Structure 1
Amino acid sequence: MAPPRRPGGQQPGQPVQGHPQPGQQPAPSEQRHGAVPGQRTPERLRQRSPHGAHAAPGPVREPLEPGQTPWATEPESSFSTWARRFFRGLVVAVLLLAAISGIRSWISPNRTPDTVVGSQTSFPLDEARAIATRYAISYLTWDEANPDARPAQVGLDLAAGLDGRTGWNGRGKQVAVIAYPGEVKVDSGGVAAVVDVRVRVQQYYLKGRVMTPGTFAWQRLSVPVARTAARVVASGPPTFVPDSRAPLPENMPGPGAPDDVLTAATKEDAKAFFGAYAESDNKVSAVTAPGSTIRSLNGAVKFGELKDWQVYTGNDDERRATAAVTWKGVGDTTLDQTYTLTLRRTVATDGAQRWQVAAVG
């Protein structure tokens, strides 16, 4: 086995460069730099291997040519090249798609066709209520002495091609006095709907040969309507629906905790307010909080009595109150009503404080 090569290709038995042999004079360059015999000059020291003094030395780097880079390139694998190109193409495709979509939305934004109604908000609710109200009045008004009047009135709102005489046998007399529309329920297609209408009618009774007016009654109808390209029309005869009472919900908001001290302190002021509230705007403005405008009943009724008055707890500047008031009508007629009011604390120039009505309802 051949002995290991020494660094620099030095052969055994050859003198080490930089170390003079016995009887040999130092080189002139060593004398000029003050080199000490037996020591290496700093210019010729080499970095020691990090693997220890006895590790085999690595290959000696060749000197770089002018313009040569101090690193070497390695060939890239085919998979890395494919992955890099794929992701680069994916990013470019996404950017192009976003740009094309944005430009298309600028030039031609999405529009819902005029003939398609997709939701209740696009249905003409106000027009539907108006048509259903007039149609309900025409439908519930008839007179056997003038049988042609009803079909003419019904035909104002009924869709063309439908018979306006349907539903009445041509006998008797009734007059629909007034009607109030309510909820409009639109079907999923957005073309048809039903309108809830309450109608007050007066029925007539035959006494002998004379039609005599009877009592007034409220009737509730469900009126079908449809939306056409021109307008809303009644799409068929209405149907009667019950108008029953319903209890209050369990989660009704409460008035709050009563403030008995403030209730007692403001009771006389409340009487003065309702007395002025019944008479005129000038009188009521004198007892309301500064900056508030409350219109009076202008003599329609007279103040009878304050049956109940309650102020509730709150902040130091504004409170909520309720009042049960008895109004006097014509003759011996009285009517009890309950009001909700807002009280506001006011301070006079002399420092006196009082609570005045700032709003009714």
Structure 2
Amino acid sequence: MSTFKTIMWKVLNLPEPRDKPKPEPQTEDERASEKVASVAPTGVQRWTAAGQRLQGETAAATATAVATKPKQTREAAAPWRIEDEKSGAKALAKFGRVVLWGVVALAAVTGVRSWFWPDQPQAPTTVKVKEGPTYPVEEAQAIAGRFSRSYLTWDESDRDARAKALARDMPKGYDTTAGWNGKGTQNVVATLPGTVTDLGDKRARVHVDVLVSVPGKPATGKNKTAAPAEQKWMGLEVPVLYTSGRIVVTGQPGIVGVPTSGPSVTDQTTVESDVVLADQTKGTVETFFTEYSKGDADTVTAPGATVPPLPTGMNLGDIQSWTVDKGTGSDRTGTAVVVWDVSGAELTQTYRVELTRVASAAAERWQVAEVHGGAS
């Protein structure tokens, strides 16, 4: 048995196979008998061969009887022989079995494939957390706008009305009468909440534009006609605090000025015009604006288009200009400068008009699909 097979039998704790017993050597008589039997008798030798065969059979029977008796008392030969192992060999066999079954268990858990083709490590996925606004801007604007209306509205004939209105948006226990001496009359027409400046620590400042109306002076003496009410814009900056889930006004606001003009801007880029298409579609645009002023624009718009009607009292005065932007395709955009007659005055307006080409079996034509006020 080879050395490798010997080690495996010991690791698996299997008994070693015994060598098969070699056949007993033949006796002289048996060899003689086989030799005589191998020679076929012929002629006068028949009787001599028969005698020799009889002697051989007798000798063989005698030898068989003698050999059979000790074999009956001999222990039955087993195919395996159990031999005691030394303590070191037993320990080695047990350790080998533990290692072998450990490898089998590891293969079952991890999979044999991962031993030869391990998975490539993947980069961790970055989870983007959507951050909310740093401050509740809309709520701050709403509270500051309502507070501004209450703050800039007063009537000396009803002082408590202002104090009650301010109490809605100020912390409990604050003095709602502070800042006004209780004289005069003023009303707020409109409020426009604007920029919210985050000051940190849940505090902010809200700018509100307020349109106020101041009653004119009453008629006195020679002046029997009362002066008309005066309206003016003023700015109000309101300090607010976000606490307990809501916005409150934490202190006295301050009246500030309102800008008299906007900032400077760069000149708008001039778009090249398509003169030919503008001439072809001028009649379409004139018809559209005529019906547009009558509230019946749907009759001259492209199929599926919906254009809400203008307010009543607007009459088309003139179309000062009509240009179409350079381009290609069945959808084009143009600019119309229109003069309207409104309440005895003339107003010049600018519109961006979307045209689409509509085709039928007989012909094709351009129609208005959309209209928007103002040039971009």
TM-score normalised to the size of structure 1? Answer: 0.61
Question: Given the alignment, which residue of 138, 141, 144 partners 1:129?
Answer: 141
The 8 Å contact of residues 309 and 321 in structure 1, kept in 2 or not, is answered as yes
The 8 Å contact of residues 344 and 358 in structure 1, kept in 2 or not, is answered as no
Instruction: State the distance in 1 between where 2:284 and 2:163 align.
Output: 59
Could you tell me how far 1:355 is from its partner in structure 2? 4.0
Question: Given the alignment, which residue of 197, 211, 229 partners 1:200?
Answer: 211
Instruction: State the distance in 2 between where 1:290 and 1:152 align.
Output: 56
Could you tell me how far 1:217 is from its partner in structure 2? 1.2
Question: Given the alignment, which residue of 318, 323, 334 partners 1:310?
Answer: 323
Identity %: 32
Residues 1:246 and 1:232: Cα distance change in structure 2 (over 3 Å): same
Question: Given the alignment, which residue of 246, 266, 280 partners 2:262?
Answer: 246
> Which residue does the alignment assign to 1:322?
335
AA matched with 1:339: Y
1:203-282 alignment, distance < 5 Å: 203-207=214-218, 213-244=228-259, 245-250=261-266, 254=269, 256-280=271-295
Runs (4 or more) in structure 1 with deviation over 4 Å come to 64-69, 208-213
Residue by residue, what CA displacement relative to the aligned partner does 1:307-342 show, whole Å, maximum 9, x if unpaired? 222211122222222222222122x22222212222
Could you tell me how far 1:68 is from its partner in structure 2? 9.1
Could you tell me how far 1:345 is from its partner in structure 2? 1.9
Instruction: State the distance in 1 between where 2:367 and 2:258 align.
Output: 43
AA matched with 1:233: V
Instruction: State the distance in 2 between where 1:66 and 1:201 align.
Output: 107
The 8 Å contact of residues 301 and 369 in structure 2, kept in 1 or not, is answered as yes
Question: Given the alignment, which residue of 123, 145, 161 partners 2:173?
Answer: 161
Instruction: State the distance in 2 between where 1:341 and 1:255 align.
Output: 17
Could you tell me which runs of 5 or more consecutive residues in structure 1 were left unpaired when the two chains were aligned.
1-63, 70-110, 112-118
Could you tell me how far 1:357 is from its partner in structure 2? 3.6
Residues 1:195 and 1:204: Cα distance change in structure 2 (over 3 Å): same
Instruction: State the distance in 2 between where 1:188 and 1:136 align.
Output: 22
1:1-361 alignment, distance < 5 Å: 65-66=3-4, 121=133, 123-189=135-201, 191-207=202-218, 213-244=228-259, 245-250=261-266, 254=269, 256-280=271-295, 283-330=296-343, 332-361=344-373
Could you tell me how far 1:297 is from its partner in structure 2? 1.0
Residues 1:264 and 1:167: Cα distance change in structure 2 (over 3 Å): farther
Q: Residue 167 of structure 1: SS of its match in structure 2?
A: coil
The 8 Å contact of residues 202 and 217 in structure 1, kept in 2 or not, is answered as yes
Instruction: State the distance in 2 between where 1:169 and 1:212 align.
Output: 24
Root-mean-square deviation (Å): 2.9
TM-score normalised to the size of structure 2? Answer: 0.59
Residues 1:248 and 1:351: Cα distance change in structure 2 (over 3 Å): farther
AA matched with 1:287: V
Could you tell me how far 1:192 is from its partner in structure 2? 1.6
Greater Cα shift, 347-356 or 131-140: 347-356
Instruction: State the distance in 2 between where 1:154 and 1:286 align.
Output: 53
Residues 1:219 and 1:352: Cα distance change in structure 2 (over 3 Å): same
Residue by residue, what CA displacement relative to the aligned partner does 1:264-316 show, whole Å, maximum 9, x if unpaired? 22222212111222222xx2011112221110114242222112222111222
Greater Cα shift, 207-216 or 262-271: 207-216
Residue by residue, what CA displacement relative to the aligned partner does 1:200-259 show, whole Å, maximum 9, x if unpaired? 11112433679855221122222222112142111222223332222353275x362111
Instruction: State the distance in 1 between where 2:249 and 2:345 align.
Output: 43
Residues 1:302 and 1:68: Cα distance change in structure 2 (over 3 Å): farther
AA matched with 1:344: T
Instruction: State the distance in 2 between where 1:350 and 1:271 align.
Output: 23
Residue by residue, what CA displacement relative to the aligned partner does 1:86-105 show, whole Å, maximum 9, x if unpaired? xxxxxxxxxxxxxxxxxxxx
Residues 1:314 and 1:242: Cα distance change in structure 2 (over 3 Å): farther
Could you tell me how far 1:139 is from its partner in structure 2? 0.9
Instruction: State the distance in 1 between where 2:174 and 2:227 align.
Output: 32
> Which residue does the alignment assign to 2:45?
none
AA matched with 1:247: P
AA matched with 2:191: A
> Which residue does the alignment assign to 2:104?
none
Residues 1:66 and 1:223: Cα distance change in structure 2 (over 3 Å): closer
Residue by residue, what CA displacement relative to the aligned partner does 1:130-185 show, whole Å, maximum 9, x if unpaired? 11111111111112222222222122212223222222232221110111222322
The 8 Å contact of residues 298 and 307 in structure 2, kept in 1 or not, is answered as yes
> Which residue does the alignment assign to 1:27?
none
> Which residue does the alignment assign to 2:62?
none
Residues 1:349 and 1:67: Cα distance change in structure 2 (over 3 Å): same
AA matched with 1:242: G
Could you tell me how far 1:120 is from its partner in structure 2? 6.7
AA matched with 2:256: V
Residues 1:207 and 1:353: Cα distance change in structure 2 (over 3 Å): closer
State how many pairs are aligned: 247
Could you tell me how far 1:122 is from its partner in structure 2? 5.2
